[in-house]
Amino acid sequence: MVKKARVKWAGDMTFIGESSSGHAVVMDSGSDDGGLDHGIRPMEMLLLGAGGCASIDVMLMLQKSRQKVTDAWVELEAERAPEPPRVFTKIHMHFVITGVDIDPRRVERAIALSQEKYCSASVQLAALSEITTDFEIIEPA
């Protein structure tokens, strides 16, 4: 499966990324690199991509197992190597699932399957990074 994308310069250190699905995102560097902070940094996008990919997987699996999820998010923390190419060396994903009668075994299994099998972004990043996960379940009051 071939995917195409385009990143076009928009002046200074600002670039517009366009995906094959027709969506666009503004990217920029920080002021240390001549950027004007007009958009997200490319490495931030990598981290968000892994979080989004894993979140979609987890929600699909929880919905298929008929879990009554009312809200969900993943909080990501990452460490980068101090020298170029400054790859991510450690990534931690903390999943928060809100809902009624959520089965923790199903959440744990969904996260594991996402990380081991389904989330292409996490599997790709895991080639260079140590990725850890945990989760909490919140019952609405």
Rg of the chain on CA atoms, in Å:
17
pLDDT of residue 96: 98
Of the pLDDT bands very low, low, confident and very high (cuts 50, 70, 90), residue 62 is: very high
Q: Could you list the residue range(s) of the whole structural domain that residue 14 is in?
A: 1-40
Of the pLDDT bands very low, low, confident and very high (cuts 50, 70, 90), residue 67 is: very high
96 and 33 housed in the same domain? no
Return the closest-CA partner of residue 3 out of 17, 15, 12. Answer: 17
pLDDT of residue 110: 98
> How far apart are the two ends of the chain, measured CA to CA in Å?
46
92 and 25 housed in the same domain? no
16 and 83 housed in the same domain? no
Q: Which two tokens stand for residue 4?
A: 């195409």
> For the segment 5-50, what is each residue's pLDDT rounded down to a tens digit?
999 999 999 999 999 999 999 999 988 888 999 999 999 999 999 9
One-letter amino acid for residue 98 of the chain: T
Q: Is the pLDDT of residue 141 over 90?
A: no
Q: Which two tokens stand for residue 49?
A: 């991509």
- Is the Cβ–Cβ distance between 42 and 68 less than 8 Å? no
pTM value is: 0.92
DSSP assignment, residue 76?
Answer: E
51 and 81 housed in the same domain? yes
CATH number at residue 99: 3.30.300.20
32 and 56 housed in the same domain? no
| Count of domains observed in the chain | 2
> For the segment 76-134, what is each residue's pLDDT rounded down to a tens digit?
999 999 999 999 999 999 999 999 999 999 999 999 999 999 999 999 999 999 999 99
Residue with the two structure tokens 């790709």? 124
35 and 47 housed in the same domain? no
Angle at 111 between CA 1 and CA 127, to 5 degrees: 55
pLDDT of residue 140: 87
53 and 84 housed in the same domain? yes
pLDDT of residue 126: 95
63 and 121 housed in the same domain? yes
**What sign for the dihedral angle of Cα 111, 41, 22, 71?**
positive
CATH number at residue 29: 2.20.25
